Amino acid sequence: MTLENTLLNSKIVTRLVIVCFLLLVVVPFAAGLMYAILYSVGLIGILSNGFTTSHISGTVQNPEILFSLLYSFYVASCSMLISLVLSLGGVLFFKSSITKGKWSFFSYLPLAAPAIVTAFVSLQVFNKTGVLSRVLYQTNAISDLSQFPDMVNDSLGIGIITTHVLMATPFFLIFFSNIYEAENLKSLSEVAKSLGASSTKVAEKIAIPLLLKKGLNTILLYFIFVIGSYEIPLILGQQSPQMISVLIVRKMQRYNLIDIPQGYFLSIVYSVVVILLIAVFLKSKKPVI
Amino acid sequence: MKKLTSLFLLLFAFILSACNNNASTIEKDHLQFSWDEILIQAKGQTVNFMMWQGDPQINKYINSYVIPSVKAKYGITLQTSAGQGNQIVSILMGEKEALKINSEIDMCWINGETFYQLKQIDALFGPFVDKLPNATLINLDNPFIKYDFQIPINGMECPWGNVQFCLIYNKEKVLVPPKNMLELENYVKQIPGKFTIPNDFTGLTFLKSLLIDIAGGGSTLAGPFDEAKYKNYSAQLWQYINRLKPFMWKSGTTFPNAVSPMHQMFSQGELYFTMSNNDGEVDNKVTEGTLPGFARSYVLDAGTIQNSHYLGITKNSNQKAAAMVILNFLISPDAQLEKQNSSVWGDGTVLDLTKLSAKEQAAFNSLQNRIYGPNRIEIASKALMELAPEYMIRLNDDFRKYVIEQ
């Protein structure tokens, strides 16, 4: 009887959790998506004149969206690649000591800075008349401030990527350090070494694959987060191409109110891309029977 | 699957029902009340004022002067929230779509393009300006006040300030500032990387001034939007800008997204020019310390846009009486004088000085002592009228299409 009661209670709790999840996460998202769909085809909105596909066709025909999506993927890929290389390297070099002791403060500190603050710091440091440029000028490395290379509002997105790297690297350093400890990688590495494996071999065959495999979910989520980032590309990006969130907000807040449905359609495109990314990821994780 | 479809349909119906926009709002007709009745109603009310809060001096004027004054004089609590143009429009659109009867915004700071948009969605209360006793001190027939982006205000928004676009230059680097488009082109080519145009309202005002110059003066583009004229003159404008583009900041590969980063780059020497919609901004900003002492402002010989900014009351405001009392205070000689002082804000008055007492006139005239910016009365002869809002909408789209993305 007690066991039955416990099982019943646990079933109720599970269902409650599912209902809460649906109510708090799925329903608002679905309602938002539905609202965007209805808005983009002119079925709602106080300026709508009834059903139309003109907003969708007008948006699709504009190559700006494709460039924006590609640019967002490019920035996210570069940012993640550099952050992962740096954080994996850091963890393997420092082992777990980077999150402990007096130096750990510096690995936790950047996590406390909001994206907008980090973006402004990057702007002050990396612009043509910024801190770095002035130091180089004072040390005669450059003869004029204008010789300092374009590192913010640049066509390659160096400023955006650098800032994302500054934010992501400490996060992944701590994240991988925790996995390193939880998986007892130190002992595993010692065993491998005692069997004759070199440090490089240990990193290549054991540590890196294990850290990446265990962290795959978080890496993908961070990748999606970078694609959708707003403040950093707004402050450090160019006017064209723009990252997808900046483009959506621009379309939503144009002087021409008739263009708002285009912004809603873009937000649908962005949502679909993110859902597809997650779907592909989940499919690739399914065990092969 | 059936459950999922049902849920989907339910959601669909829910959203459609939530978006019915045929609601009728019940409101008291404040326009029928006498001013004394309005004052009685206003007492003890709390008014939410949505305004651009990007300038600490303006915020200080509101927080340290206006809020205590309206509390002490009329017992009204004024609360401010940050938001401008498209944000105000988004909120009011959202409220109307959600059938919200009492708006979160009672009064808002607007001008041209926002006025045009708010009229499109029928979100403004009025006409109320005639009800304000201090409105008699404004010359409402002055074309720079009577029309907002060529649209008659018809009492639907209250004039608050009047400013004229100015170019700001570094006087230590630019010894003789260019006075017309040809001189500007030649000068920009001599100083590569030191000039740019912000992709925002200020930049568009500059482009409008150039468009009027290309069109041969103020009257050519006056009146409603003219597609043929726009196509003709804007094509020449983009040719001109594209000739300058390789010599602009970052070789014209990008443009600042707002005028504030331009001010910063100007202060740091990265740019030799910046710009402002407010002819009093240089004195204000230098006094404040956010622009350096080498900043000077001027207007081009062909003239620049003079622009009034206004205050509106939202149609669904529940505090219309108190909002009207605050607006009346804001256009009082005392509040306007305080606002025009460069050390406070430096915003030009909308009052007709000839309608003021001799003492008040003397007080306003004593403020014409600018050090860094041009004399307000002198540049008024070069003032150009704002164009119809469609010009700005098109310039905004085409600046991106024919310049930024080229």
Residue A73 lies in a domain: yes
Q: Directed axis angle between helix A185-194 and helix A158-182, to 10°?
A: 80
Please tell me the total count of domains within chain A: 1
Contact criterion met (CB < 8 Å) for B15 and A252 = no
Complex ipTM value: 0.74
State the DSSP code for A258.
Answer: G
State the DSSP code for A218.
Answer: H
Contact criterion met (CB < 8 Å) for B254 and A240 = yes
Residue A40 lies in a domain: no
Q: Which residues does A93 contact at the CB level (< 8 Å), separation at least 6?
A: none
Token digits of residue A153:
């509002």
What's the pLDDT band for B272 if we cut at 50, 70, 90?
Answer: very high
Rounded CA-CA distance A144/A167 in Å is 31
- In one-letter notation, the amino acid at residue A19 is V
Rounded CA-CA distance B177/B171 in Å is 8
What's the pLDDT band for B385 if we cut at 50, 70, 90?
Answer: very high
CB of B89 less than 8 A from some CB of A: yes
Residues of chain B with CATH 3.40.190.10: 34-161+308-373, 164-306+382-404
Most confident of A173-177, A197-201, B67-71: B67-71
Chain B positions touching A45 (Cβ under 8 A) are 19, 93, 97
What's the pLDDT band for B368 if we cut at 50, 70, 90?
Answer: low
3-state secondary structure string across chain B: CHHHHHHHHHHHHHHHHHCCCCCCCCCCCHHHCCHHHHHHHHCCCEEEEEECCCCHHHHHHHHHHHHHHHHHHHCCEEEEEECCHHHHHHHHHHHHHCCCCCCCCCEEEECHHHHHHHHHCCCECCCCHHHCHHHHHECCCCHHHHEECCEECCCCCEEEEEEECEEEEECCCCCCCCCCHHHHHHHHHHCCCCCCCCCCHHHHHHHHHHHHHHCCCCCCCCCCCCHHHHHHHHHHHHHHHHHHHHHCHHHHCCCCCCHHHHHHHHHCCCCCEEEECCCCHHHHHHHHCCCCCCEEEECCCCCEEEEEEEEEEECCCCCHHHHHHHHHHHCCHHHHHHHHCCCCCCCCCCECHHHCCHHHHHHHHCCCCCCCCCCHHHHHHHEECCCCHHHHHHHHHHHHHHHHCC
Contact criterion met (CB < 8 Å) for B270 and A127 = yes
Give pLDDT, residue A49. Answer: 83
Chain A positions touching B121 (Cβ under 8 A) are 46-47, 257
What's the pLDDT band for B6 if we cut at 50, 70, 90?
Answer: low
CB of B19 less than 8 A from some CB of A: yes
Half-sphere exposure in the Cβ direction for A51 (13 Å, CA): 0
Give pLDDT, residue A113. Answer: 87
Give pLDDT, residue B190. Answer: 95
Contact criterion met (CB < 8 Å) for A255 and B113 = yes
Contact criterion met (CB < 8 Å) for A257 and B89 = yes
- In one-letter notation, the amino acid at residue B174 is V
Q: What is the mean pLDDT of chain A?
A: 87
Residue A57 lies in a domain: no
Token digits of residue A114:
């909001």
Q: Domain of residue A108: give its range.
A: 67-285
Rounded CA-CA distance B377/B340 in Å is 13
CA dihedral B360, B363, B364, B367 (to 10 degrees): -170
Rounded CA-CA distance B304/B165 in Å is 6
Would you say B372 and B283 are in contact if contact means Cβ atoms under 8 Å apart? yes
Give pLDDT, residue B333. Answer: 97
Rounded CA-CA distance A38/B382 in Å is 48
Contact criterion met (CB < 8 Å) for B250 and A153 = yes
Give pLDDT, residue A288. Answer: 45
Rounded CA-CA distance B184/B244 in Å is 9
> Has residue B271 got a pLDDT over 80?
yes
pLDDT in tens, B328-362: 999 999 999 999 988 888 898 999 999 999 999 99
What's the rounded mean pLDDT across residues A40-68?
Answer: 88
Would you say B169 and B271 are in contact if contact means Cβ atoms under 8 Å apart? no
Query: Residue with structure tokens 């009346």?
Result: B328
Could you tell me the CA-to-CA distances from A198 to A177, A189, A191, B10 in Å, in that order?
Answer: 21, 10, 11, 62
Nearest to B279 by CA among B302, B307, B315, B260: B307
Least confident of A5-19, B11-25, B200-214: B11-25
What's the rounded mean pLDDT across residues B83-88?
Answer: 87
Instruction: Please indicate whether residue B73 or residue B218 has the higher confidence score (pLDDT).
Output: B73
What's the rounded mean pLDDT across residues A157-174?
Answer: 94
Give pLDDT, residue B64. Answer: 96
Least confident of A247-256, B70-79, B85-94, B136-145: A247-256
Give percent of chain B above pLDDT 90.
68
Would you say B221 and B212 are in contact if contact means Cβ atoms under 8 Å apart? yes
Q: What SS3 class is residue A46?
A: coil
Chain B positions touching A131 (Cβ under 8 A) are none
Nearest to B292 by CA among B173, B142, B131: B173
Residue A61 lies in a domain: no
Token digits of residue A171:
């996060």
Q: State the best of B19, B21, B197 to mutate against chain A, taking most chain A CBs within 10 Å.
A: B19
As a whole number of Å, the CA-based R_g of chain A is 24
Q: Is A111 exposed, middle or buried (0-12, 13-18, 19+ CB in 10 A)?
A: exposed
Chain B positions touching A35 (Cβ under 8 A) are 15, 19
> Has residue A204 got a pLDDT over 70?
yes
What's the rounded mean pLDDT across residues A53-74?
Answer: 90
Contact criterion met (CB < 8 Å) for A46 and B257 = no
> Has residue B25 got a pLDDT over 50?
no
Name every residue in A having a CB less than 8 A away from some CB of B: 27, 30-31, 34-35, 38, 43-47, 64, 127-129, 145-146, 150, 153-155, 234, 238-240, 252-257
Query: In the CATH hierarchy, which fold is given to the domain comprising B34-161+308-373?
Result: D-Maltodextrin-Binding Protein; domain 2 (3.40.190)
Residue A72 lies in a domain: yes
Nearest CA in chain B to A32: B15
Chain A positions touching B265 (Cβ under 8 A) are 127, 129
State the DSSP code for A140.
Answer: T
Would you say B84 and B52 are in contact if contact means Cβ atoms under 8 Å apart? yes
Residue A177 lies in a domain: yes
* Min Cα–Cα distance to chain B from A169, Å: 28
Residue A32 lies in a domain: no
Residue A48 lies in a domain: no
Chain B positions touching A154 (Cβ under 8 A) are 250, 254
Give pLDDT, residue B226. Answer: 94
Rounded CA-CA distance A263/A257 in Å is 10
Would you say B306 and B383 are in contact if contact means Cβ atoms under 8 Å apart? yes
Contact criterion met (CB < 8 Å) for A257 and B193 = no
- Residue A85 maps to which CATH number? 1.10.3720.10
Give pLDDT, residue B28. Answer: 57
Give pLDDT, residue A47. Answer: 79
CB of B260 less than 8 A from some CB of A: no
Nearest to A186 by CA among A87, A96, A82: A96
> Has residue A287 got a pLDDT over 90?
no
> Has residue B42 got a pLDDT over 60?
yes
Rounded CA-CA distance B44/B65 in Å is 19
Rounded CA-CA distance A146/A157 in Å is 19
Give percent of chain A above pLDDT 70.
95
CB of B175 less than 8 A from some CB of A: no
Give the other-Cβ count within 10 Å of A242's Cβ. 21
> Has residue B26 got a pLDDT over 50?
no
Q: Which residues does A264 contact at the CB level (< 8 Å), separation at least 6?
A: A35, A36, A37, A39, A40, A55, A252
Query: In the CATH hierarchy, which fold is given to the domain comprising B164-306+382-404?
Result: D-Maltodextrin-Binding Protein; domain 2 (3.40.190)
> Has residue A251 got a pLDDT over 90?
no
Chain B positions touching A145 (Cβ under 8 A) are 269-270
Give pLDDT, residue A25. Answer: 86
